[in-house]
Amino acid sequence: MAAPPRGGRADRERPRRPGLRRPRPGSFRRPARAHDAGVPRLGNGAAALRPIPRATGERPRPGPIRRTGLRRGFDRVLPRRLGRTARRSPCDTGHSAVKWLRELTPDTREDPGLIGAKAHGLLDLHRLGLPVPAGFVVTTEACRAFLRDGHFPDGLRDELAAATRTLEETAGSSPLTVSVRSGAGVSMPGMMDTILNLRPTAEQLEPAVEAVFASWETPRARTYRELHGIDHDLGTAVIVQEMVYGDRDDRSGTGVAFSRNPNTGEPAPFGDVLFGHQGVDVVAGTSPVLPLTGLATREPHVWKTLTEALDRLEDHYRDAVYVEFTFETGVLWLLQVRPGRFTGAAAIRVAVDLADEGRISRTEAVHRVSRRQVERARTPRIAPRPDTTLLGRGTGACPGVATGRIATTTEAARRMAADGPVILVRPETSPNDMNGLAVAAGILTARGGPASHAAVVARSLGKPAVVGMGTLAIDETNASITVGERTLAEGTLVTIDGTGGEVALGGVPTVTRENGDHLERFLAWTEEDARLSRS
């Protein structure tokens, strides 16, 4: 049941959710600021350039940033002016034709297969008048040529040099620092490299682009593509943008937001936020996150701007959305947008609610939900019984119940999976755990929130997951875990509940969760649609 093409807003009026109002045109403005600059590091850990002096009076930045497979790209940056005055395009090189690069402006219209889904989403943000990064994108054609020939295609170096010179003029900042991010035609969260805090010189930018191209062929990326049926020959685009910092001061931060709850489908903004941090900390799960609603109290203007933007994006896509954002000194910037990924019951509720709100028709609602999502809609839960030994509770990240033997490493999970279901138990997961995540029946982590790497991958794979179980400690050396005062050896049978976040000892009885009337209404619409199709 494939989703139909998205179009404009439904003709009839629909109820709007409380608190989500349209922002005034032109309300997104960025204050001038001096830019930070650090020392980018490549995959071998070698510094790519000497440190760049910082402006007097700025607080020290965190240590040098290394290349990583985690999606560090939340704090990546913004145009100083958003189209208020005429400006030169970053890809306006002065040559008669630009073959390998495309500009990120409202006038650019390219297929996601050429510029990647991430860059395509940035263009949508541009056209909606929302704040988006100044920058440009290197096409997937350039990546395929690099992977085929082992070097940059003719002309790419000249185009990069010209585009970065223009980007410096456009940004009006000195020294300019940029991010270099992957962006394939289909979403592959966390599977490829991102490099932050980079000076856009040939000595730094060219190796960075090469590194992102090469990360398309890493084992974790290939495993992810095989699991999701993605063509290995597509290649990735590379996005180069000015940096922004979520750790600039105590009014800065970063986060991720869904326009609706990805676990339940509830029509309210949902996600994680971290004050004084870069985006890598949200995804990696290495720092305690706050619920997205924490913005409403601490930075009400950021919260208001974000919820208004989410509502506009739902109008545009006629679907629930996921965004990454950074706010710097109280100013919000959106850095990525894509359709949200929802579990079975949540997908059904979102489709039904969107139809009730008039954003889509009932027929569209039926065709947006896959058969597999319908099968998973009646989600089991751990039955509340007095003889069940609950070990503890974390945050439910992907609904469902999974029972299996504890595996404390990816290698152990792969070895043990041949003899039955395993639960991969980690402090937090990273792209390097992809092979273990692929074979596990369920996922349990000590750290992280609903937007952490473990949660995102679990939802994409449809596997029950519990994250952020604070009482959990993993001892890889002795192949054991400790929950509170109880120590369990690798191989011990446990059960996790990805809805309520409970973790129980052994195999336990389950009950089916009630889904309200959304499932029943959806099934009725499905029968009606089938009947009309036959007539």
Can you give the CATH number for the domain in which 162 is found?
3.30.1490.20
Per-residue pLDDT at 97: 62
How many other CB atoms are found less than 10 A from the CB of residue 416? Answer: 21
Among 210, 242, 274, residue at a domain's last position? 242
Out of 82-91, 92-101, 312-321, 481-490, least confident range: 82-91
From the list 424, 415, 392, 403, the residue with the least C-alpha distance to 500 is 392
Among 208, 242, 276, residue at a domain's last position? 242
Per-residue pLDDT at 508: 95
Q: Are residues 386 and 501 in the same domain?
A: yes
Residues β-bridged to residue 512: 380
Q: What whole-number distance in Å separates Cα of residue 193 and Cα of residue 69?
A: 4
Range of the domain at 508: 380-512
Per-residue pLDDT at 318: 96
Classify residue 29: in a domain, yes or no.
no
pLDDT band of 351, cuts 50, 70, 90: very high
Out of 50-54, 63-67, 154-158, 198-202, least confident range: 50-54
Per-residue pLDDT at 120: 96
Classify residue 162: in a domain, yes or no.
yes
Classify residue 76: in a domain, yes or no.
no
DSSP track, 317-364 = HTS-EEEEEEEETTEEEEEEEEE----HHHHHHHHHHHHHTTSS-HHH
Q: Are residues 191 and 220 in the same domain?
A: yes
Question: pLDDT by residue (tens digit) across 263-280?
Answer: 889 999 999 999 998 877
Q: Are residues 308 and 355 in the same domain?
A: no
Per-residue pLDDT at 114: 96
Domain harbouring 277, CATH code: 3.30.470.20
From the list 456, 471, 453, 466, the residue with the least C-alpha distance to 494 is 466
Classify residue 27: in a domain, yes or no.
no
Give the whole-number percent of the chain exceeding pLDDT 90. 62
Does the structure show a pLDDT above 50 at 219? yes
Q: Which two tokens stand for residue 37?
A: 């600059």
Query: What is the chain's length?
Result: 535
Per-residue pLDDT at 46: 35
Q: Are residues 169 and 195 in the same domain?
A: yes
From the list 332, 334, 449, 349, the residue with the least C-alpha distance to 398 is 449
Q: Which two tokens stand for residue 321?
A: 């959305």
Q: Are residues 317 and 368 in the same domain?
A: no
Per-residue pLDDT at 84: 30
Per-residue pLDDT at 16: 41
Q: Are residues 315 and 405 in the same domain?
A: no
Classify residue 298: in a domain, yes or no.
yes
Backbone phi, then psi, for 332, in 5-degree steps?
Answer: -85, 140
Q: Are residues 228 and 269 in the same domain?
A: no
Q: What whole-number distance in Å separates Cα of residue 220 and Cα of residue 241?
A: 25
From the list 352, 320, 306, the residue with the least C-alpha distance to 519 is 352
Q: Are residues 335 and 362 in the same domain?
A: no
Per-residue pLDDT at 512: 83
- Residue 62 has, within 13 A of its CA and on its CB side, a CA count of 15
Please indicate whether residue 39 or residue 305 has the higher confidence score (pLDDT).
Answer: 305
Classify residue 145: in a domain, yes or no.
yes
Q: Which two tokens stand for residue 403?
A: 């029972």
Q: Are residues 105 and 215 in the same domain?
A: yes
**CB within 8 A of 203, min separation 6: which ones?**
48, 49
Domain harbouring 483, CATH code: 3.50.30.10
pLDDT band of 85, cuts 50, 70, 90: very low
Does the structure show a pLDDT above 80 at 262? yes
The tally of domains found in the chain comes to 4
Q: What whole-number distance in Å separates Cα of residue 144 and Cα of residue 44?
A: 24
Q: Are residues 367 and 401 in the same domain?
A: no
486-489, strands of its sheet edge to edge: 472-475, 480-483, 486-489
From the list 259, 293, 316, 306, the residue with the least C-alpha distance to 126 is 316
Q: Are residues 355 and 230 in the same domain?
A: no
DSSP, collapsed to helix, strand or coil, labels residue 289 as: coil
Question: pLDDT by residue (tens digit) across 93-128?
Answer: 444 467 999 999 899 999 999 999 999 999 999 999
Helices marked H in 462-497: none
How many other CB atoms are found less than 10 A from the CB of residue 506? Answer: 12
Q: What is the mean pLDDT of residues 297-320?
A: 96
Q: Are residues 472 and 486 in the same domain?
A: yes
Per-residue pLDDT at 204: 95
Classify residue 65: in a domain, yes or no.
no
Per-residue pLDDT at 90: 52
Helices 202-215, 156-171: axis angle to 10 degrees equals 110
Question: pLDDT by residue (tens digit) across 416-461?
Answer: 999 999 999 999 999 889 999 999 999 999 998 888 888 989 988 8
The overall average pLDDT reported for the chain is 83
Per-residue pLDDT at 515: 62
Classify residue 410: in a domain, yes or no.
yes
Please indicate whether residue 496 or residue 516 has the higher confidence score (pLDDT).
Answer: 496
Does the structure show a pLDDT above 80 at 523? yes
Per-residue pLDDT at 91: 56
The conformation of residue 199, written as its DSSP 8-state character, comes to -
Per-residue pLDDT at 75: 34
Helices marked H in 75-182: 112-115, 117-127, 140-149, 156-171
Q: What whole-number distance in Å separates Cα of residue 356 and Cα of residue 361?
A: 8
